[in-house]
């Protein structure tokens, strides 16, 4: 049951973040979004991946791996929008 709660929460988090990134891309703007948000998220996710691996918590290894990928994608979108004048 404990693992199910963790995996369910992971799915909810990823759907929420994924929806936000999709909206940012679809609207064609990153106005008000700081690139440092994604840099901080990448740093934290990398640290949490290492920590979760060290304590053998695969729910958080996977979740933070996906969060790291979402942060990279979010940063790429912000930089793309800034390069094309749609910050």
pLDDT tens readout for residues 59-84: 999 999 999 999 999 999 999 998 88
Predicted pLDDT at 54: 97
**Residue 83 domain-assigned?**
yes
The arithmetic mean of pLDDT across residues 31-58, rounded, is 92
Domain count across the chain: 1
Band the pLDDT of 48: cuts 50, 70, 90. Answer: very high
**Residue 18 domain-assigned?**
no
**Residue 85 domain-assigned?**
yes
**Residue 86 domain-assigned?**
yes
**Residue 14 domain-assigned?**
no
Q: Does the pLDDT of residue 27 top 70, yes or no?
A: yes
Band the pLDDT of 87: cuts 50, 70, 90. Answer: low
How would DSSP label each residue in 35-74?
HHHHHHHHHHHHHHHHHHHHTT-HHHHHHHHHHHHHHHHH
**Residue 65 domain-assigned?**
yes
In terms of residue numbers, what domain contains 65?
34-87
């Amino acid at each position: 049951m404990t693992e199910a709660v963790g995996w369910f929460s992971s799915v909810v988090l990823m759907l929420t973040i994924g929806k936000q990134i999709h909206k940012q891309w679809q609207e064609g703007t990153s106005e008000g979004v700081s690139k440092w948000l994604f840099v901080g998220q990448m740093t934290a996710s990398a640290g949490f991946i290492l920590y979760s691996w060290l304590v053998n918590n695969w729910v958080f290894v996977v979740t933070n791996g996906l969060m790291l990928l979402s942060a990279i994608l979010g940063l790429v979108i912000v930089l793309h929008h800034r390069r094309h004048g749609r910050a």
